[in-house]
Amino acid sequence: MTVTEDRPAAAGPAGEIGRDRRRKEDQRLITGRTRWTDNITLPGMLHMAMVRSPFAHAKIVSIDKSEAEAAPNVVGVFTGADLGESQGVLINAWPITPEQVAPVHLPMPADRVSFAGEIVAVVVARTAAEARDAAELVDVDYEELPAALDLKENAEDKVLAHPDLGTNKSALWVFDSAEAGTGGDVEEAITKARADGVVVEREFRQQRLIPAFMEPRSVVVDPTGEQNTMWSATQVPHILRFALAATTGVPESKIRVIAPDVGGGFGGKLQVTPEEWLTWCLARRIGKPVKYTETRSESLMAAHHGRDQWQKLTLAAEKDGTVTGLKVELLADLGSHVAVVGGGVPVLGAFMFNAIYKFPAYHFACQTVLSNKAWTDAYRGAGRPEATFGIERMMTELADVLGVDPLEVREKNWIKHDEFPFTTVAGLEYDSGNYEAATEKAKASFGYDELRAEQQRRRDAGDPVQLGIGVSTFTEMCGLAPSRVLGSLDYGAGGWEHASVRMLATGTVEIVTGASAHGQGHETAFSQIVADRLGVPFENVEVLHGDTQIAHKGLDTYGSRSLVVGGEALVKAADKVIEKAKPVAAHMLEASVDDIEFSAGTFTVRGTDQGVGIGDIAGAVFAAHDLPDGMEPSLDSEATYDPINFNYPHGTHLCAVEVDTETGQVQMRKYTCVDDIGNVINPLIVAGQVHGGLVQGIAQALFEEAVHDESGTLVSASFVDYLVPTAADLISFDVEHNTTPSLTNTLGTKGVGEAGTIASTPAVVNAVVDALRPFGVDDVVMPCTPERVWKAVHAKDGAAADGADPTTGAAAAHFDTQDTADRSAGQEGAGE
Amino acid sequence: MTRINLTVDGAKVSDDVEPRTLLVHYLRETLGKTGTVVGCDTSNCGACTVHLDGKSVKSCNVLAVQADGADVTTIEGLAQDGELHPVQAAFHECHALQCGYCTPGMIMQSVDLLKDNPNPSEDEIRVGLEGNLCRCTGYHNIVRAVQTAAAGASEGGQA
């Protein structure tokens, strides 16, 4: 099948879809009329402050609360022993294997802490400042235990993160194409390639990152009233309500969760957190509203972290560059507990290492490992950035081994546009795409050939500032997710989304979505979709979300799912409104229902100029004075949509960097991306998603890392040390599109929220490495700090290219020699 | 407690404050000016940026008592007579915000930047906003918004 240009557009030329509407959300946000959770103040509200462990692993010997309890306006001081089972327990929704080993996850343990930052006591006081002051007075006596801090050593159980479990190994998840019947045997492919082809072996470190949303997490619980209400800065109000009910014994119907204005998430707010559980518990126990807002330091230390893998990759190919097999062996650090998605994050990458390439054989094995660090979970991309980094680095290394352009080896192996739908070696069916077109467009915009020529000139001239060009031709799976697929992977819930459309008597339309936005622009994009579908003005559509009493049903926002799953639910609900309105229109127009047509907000009788607008019908249904016999007087409709497949955005990202070989400084020079995200609802919002996504991926490549010292203390626990890039660190981007509509949803859309992050990290690192190839460098560990880059350059000082077999460990920079310690920059400079 | 008198968004206010109270906490908790937000605890993020006697400051880095006698403008006082400030309008026009949490500080800093340098280059804008972190936009459209506001102001000046 080829690209479906003939697919009917979702809207006419005058339609809302495809228009760069300015956002409805902006007015309140640019004038400060915001409702962040921390803005909420209720009568008699009390405030919490946490006492957190300074040790990564320690026994709690005793806790002396007396001085804190005597402090001014302190209402109470509570420990894990005080709260016991009343605090509930935190859940892991995705046990990736039946045998998965997971410690019980109490919000506040009574006997032992297992990461630095874990809560050991809570102070409740009349003001936040008094709570904080009193928290300083809680005297905790710890007995420090050996801490499990190194991922590779932890996988060998050298130090146990939880001694009672007897092992750090949580679960081993394996996919093998020969066993699954989706491809051949990878060991055979590797053996053959060792004999008469090419084998590329590399080991890559996915450093630990911190989502670092701008709004610190905050939670308010009001225990008064029949339904107890929790406001939380969360991405997942519905999952939060479900989990509270499931683990505290409070009926779900007695719990209302509201996610008001939420300041970013990027996966970091899809957790169910100890702070939420403790606020819930203590507000109910004391009988007064209670608020907790974390400091930035607490957020960086104790909100979940992301990534943190070792990736050992083996790629087999023929001598002409045709790939024949890919073997992926991962170690993934779960942190101290298995978080809500937990081990499911690296497993999501299992389907993406093969990417856009036609690997005939594939093996993926991921060992998840417990440690004494903060738990890890989804961070923008969740599993797919790790996979994309791995394969896109490997394809570039294959090109280097073969001595060809990195785009050439990709083109040789990618799925051609006329081969869709294509069932991959990982078992997914890609519905659409055009990798050739996106790449051609990107090369032209980027000036690929000119930059290559400049690179050669600089190399020839021995310029101290070298130019590097990086390529990433990524795809991803998004729109989490078909419920059957989730079920087959042992995920604890489904992946549907719910929507309703309410026709108000005055002609305005309320739409309710179970997707819970926190910056994405749902209010605007969803208004555009419904405005087109129902033929009503954009301004007349109001989007309601993020409150379980209003949006009673939903599965929230993550995994680039809101538009492709939530948007589709809206389309289906709107279509039901139209169907319900048809008999009324027929009645009003004195025609047969079979003769009623609907277009652009008006119902007409076929072959006549008689018509009635949908707003008039809504008014007539509200009055209900003269409806068809037996008709229910309502047009309001609901739909729950479960996707049939993921969708597969892709794109070609090209990055040029200038690397100062004398200082190690990397400067972004140019970044061009051509993404295929299917049909675009709002190009302005899409561009914004891409820009922000790119920067988070660039930040992984160049700036960010959660660094722990040898005792397990997070030393990058403030914005002084955790380098979220600033405007001055970055450049403007060239963002373009090529469009092949998705065939898995009505609107032909694909996800976009994570694409930039997934694609950009390998593009940047490939560029840095490309700049340093003349120095014999074939890898730089992330983040590519000036120190690491400088060391990589100088590691080979005076040494001519040794001509070693590039498939051996000695030539693969980090294969066996990597210092695995997670400490500060530098020691891993590429090339020993 | 110390008595302070100041003007905030055009209104005269007078309160007893603990000497340790930060200006941002006074604004949010005493005056209910919750448009100004706290994003960090190390003066890095700039989310709390307000104008103190016409100059941008991080209000987490100023004690309330230091603002005694001063004129403070927050994001809530920037629009005049229902008209958005040109920088606010440019942020909306250029889609320079997503979650909006950094936006109050980013706008207040941009206003100050343009007052110092009405026709900044892209580099000057980037350096001028270095003290304000945004996690959503990648800064691309924030830079556009400041450029747009600058262009609008210079056109207005020539008209």
The shortest CB-CB distance from B42 to any of A264, A719, A756 is to: A719
List of residues 6+ apart from A295 with CB closer than 8 A: A216, B41
Query: DSSP H helical segments within B2-139, as ranges?
Result: 23-25, 86-93, 103-116, 122-128
d(CA A596, CA B48): 57
Q: What are the structure tokens assigned to A407, written together?
A: 């785009």
Q: Tell the residue number behind the tokens 């440019």, with chain if given.
A: B90
A220 contact residues in B (CB cutoff 8 A)? none
pLDDT digits (tens, 9 = 90+) for A275-332: 999 999 999 999 999 999 999 999 999 999 999 999 999 999 999 999 999 999 999 9
CATH class in words for A26-34+496-641 = alpha beta
A218 contact residues in B (CB cutoff 8 A)? none
Residue A819 pLDDT > 60: no
Average pLDDT over residues A496-501: 96
Residue A828 pLDDT > 70: no
What mean pLDDT value characterizes chain B?
A: 96
Residue where one domain finishes, among candidates B28, B50, B77: B77
What mean pLDDT value characterizes chain A?
A: 93
List of residues 6+ apart from B13 with CB closer than 8 A: B5, B6, B7, B31
Residue B119 pLDDT > 60: yes
* Same domain flag for B62 and B115: no
Residue where one domain finishes, among candidates B77, B99, B119: B77
CB–CB of B126 and A730 under 8 A?
yes
Q: Which residues pair with A365 in a beta bridge?
A: A174, A329
B147 at interface of A, judged by CB pairs closer than 8 A:
no
Q: Which residues pair with A498 in a beta bridge?
A: A640
B81 contact residues in A (CB cutoff 8 A)? none
Q: Which residues pair with A598 in a beta bridge?
A: A603
Q: Tell the residue number behind the tokens 């009568």, with chain if given.
A: A43
State the best of B94, B135, B141, B148 to mutate against chain A, taking most chain A CBs within 10 Å: B135
Q: What is the DSSP letter of A490?
A: T
Residue A832 pLDDT > 70: no
Q: Which residues pair with A659 in a beta bridge?
A: A466, A666
Sheet containing A58-64, strands listed edge to edge, beginning at the edge strand earlier in sequence: A112-113, A58-64, A139-144
* Alpha-carbon gap: A384 to the closest alpha carbon of chain B (Å): 19
Q: Which of residues 244-283 of A touch B (CB under 8 A)?
A: 261-264, 266
Residue A812 pLDDT > 90: no
When computed from its CA atoms, the radius of gyration of chain A, rounded to whole angstroms, is: 28
A53, amino acid identity: S
pLDDT digits (tens, 9 = 90+) for A557-604: 998 899 999 999 999 999 999 999 999 999 999 999 999 999 999 999
d(CA A348, CA A228): 35
* Same domain flag for B42 and B92: no
* Same domain flag for B94 and B46: no
* Same domain flag for B72 and B123: no
The shortest CB-CB distance from B42 to any of A26, A213, A296 is to: A296
Total number of domains in chain B:
2
List of residues 6+ apart from A15 with CB closer than 8 A: A9, A532
A693 at interface of B, judged by CB pairs closer than 8 A:
yes
Neighbours of A143 (CB within 10 A): 11
pLDDT digits (tens, 9 = 90+) for A654-710: 999 999 999 999 999 999 999 999 999 999 999 999 999 999 999 999 999 999 999
Residue A811 pLDDT > 90: no
Residue B157 pLDDT > 80: no
CA-wise closest residue to A438 among A390, A475, A398:
A475
CB–CB of A30 and B91 under 8 A?
yes
Long-range contacts formed by A244-249: CB under 8 A, 24+ apart: A244/A88, A244/A272, A244/A276, A244/A277, A244/A280, A246/A91, A247/A88, A247/A89, A247/A90, A247/A91, A247/A277, A248/A88, A248/A277, A248/A280, A248/A281
Flag the least confident range among A1-5, A68-72, A259-263.
A1-5
Per the CB < 8 A criterion, the answer to whether A511 and A541 are in contact is: yes
pLDDT digits (tens, 9 = 90+) for A79-125: 999 999 999 999 999 999 999 999 999 999 999 999 999 999 999 99
d(CA B44, CA A719): 6
Element (H, E) at A654: strand A650-660
A139 or A817: whose pLDDT is higher? A139
B141 at interface of A, judged by CB pairs closer than 8 A:
yes
pLDDT digits (tens, 9 = 90+) for A706-754: 999 999 999 999 999 999 999 999 999 999 999 999 998 999 999 999 9
* Alpha-carbon gap: B132 to the closest alpha carbon of chain A (Å): 7
Buried b / exposed e along A166-200 (16+ C-beta atoms within 10 A):
eebbbbebebbbbeeebbbbbbebbeebeeebbbb
Per the CB < 8 A criterion, the answer to whether B85 and B148 are in contact is: no
Q: Which of residues 32-51 of A touch B (CB under 8 A)?
A: 32-34, 36, 38-39
Q: Which residues pair with A369 in a beta bridge?
A: A169, A333
Structural domain of B127: 86-158
Q: Is the entire prediction scored with pTM above 0.80? A: yes
Flag the least confident range among A42-46, A470-474, A643-647.
A643-647
d(CA A648, CA A433): 8
The CATH number covering residue B104 comes to 1.10.150.120
* Alpha-carbon gap: A308 to the closest alpha carbon of chain B (Å): 20
E-assigned strands of A505-580? Answer: 509-513, 541-544
Per the CB < 8 A criterion, the answer to whether A292 and A218 are in contact is: yes
Average pLDDT over residues A4-28: 72
* Alpha-carbon gap: B117 to the closest alpha carbon of chain A (Å): 17
Average pLDDT over residues A25-49: 97
d(CA A635, CA A509): 11
pLDDT digits (tens, 9 = 90+) for A748-785: 999 999 999 999 999 999 999 999 999 999 999 999 99
Residue where one domain finishes, among candidates B77, B101, B131: B77
A726 contact residues in B (CB cutoff 8 A)? 126, 129-133, 139
A717 at interface of B, judged by CB pairs closer than 8 A:
no
B74 at interface of A, judged by CB pairs closer than 8 A:
yes
Average pLDDT over residues A60-67: 98
3-state helix, strand, coil in chain A (%, to 5): 30, 25, 45
Per the CB < 8 A criterion, the answer to whether A119 and A107 are in contact is: yes
Average pLDDT over residues B132-140: 98
What's the 3-state SS for A265-295?
CCCCCCCCCHHHHHHHHHHHHHCCCEEEECC
Residue A822 pLDDT > 50: no
Average pLDDT over residues B88-106: 98
Q: What are the structure tokens assigned to A21, written together?
A: 């509407």
CA angle A567, A569, A574 (to 5 degrees): 95
The residues spanned by each domain of chain A are 26-34+496-641
Q: What is the DSSP letter of B29?
A: I
**pLDDT value for A799:** 47
B137 at interface of A, judged by CB pairs closer than 8 A:
yes
The shortest CB-CB distance from A32 to any of B36, B40, B142 is to: B36
* Same domain flag for B150 and B106: yes
* Same domain flag for B69 and B101: no
**pLDDT value for A797:** 62
E-assigned strands of A449-551? Answer: 465-475, 497-503, 509-513, 541-544
* Alpha-carbon gap: A297 to the closest alpha carbon of chain B (Å): 7
Q: What are the structure tokens assigned to A354, written together?
A: 């093969």
* Same domain flag for B100 and B136: yes
B65 at interface of A, judged by CB pairs closer than 8 A:
no
Residue A807 pLDDT > 60: no
B129 contact residues in A (CB cutoff 8 A)? 726-728
**pLDDT value for A795:** 87
The shortest CB-CB distance from A262 to any of B39, B79, B99 is to: B99
DSSP string for A114-143: -STT-EEEEEEESSHHHHHHHHTT-EEEEE
B125 contact residues in A (CB cutoff 8 A)? 727
* Same domain flag for B66 and B90: no
CB–CB of A263 and B100 under 8 A?
yes
Return the number of CB contacts < 8 Å for A and B: 173
CB–CB of A31 and B78 under 8 A?
yes
State the best of B74, B136, B141, B146 to mutate against chain A, taking most chain A CBs within 10 Å: B136
Q: How confident is the model at residue A14 (pLDDT cuts 50, 70, 90)?
A: low
State the best of A36, A126, A214 to mutate against chain B, taking most chain B CBs within 10 Å: A214
Neighbours of A43 (CB within 10 A): 8
CB–CB of A26 and B127 under 8 A?
no
**pLDDT value for A346:** 97
Q: How confident is the model at residue A796 (pLDDT cuts 50, 70, 90)?
A: low
* Same domain flag for B8 and B69: yes
Q: What are the structure tokens assigned to A210, written together?
A: 């911190």
**pLDDT value for A803:** 43
* Same domain flag for B145 and B99: yes
A670 at interface of B, judged by CB pairs closer than 8 A:
no
Q: How confident is the model at residue A802 (pLDDT cuts 50, 70, 90)?
A: very low
* Same domain flag for B90 and B55: no
* Same domain flag for B8 and B73: yes
Q: What are the structure tokens assigned to A285, written together?
A: 């126990």
Q: Which of residues 385-404 of A touch B (CB under 8 A)?
A: none
Residue A543 pLDDT > 80: yes
Flag the least confident range among A189-203, A388-402, A810-824, B6-20.
A810-824
A205, amino acid identity: R
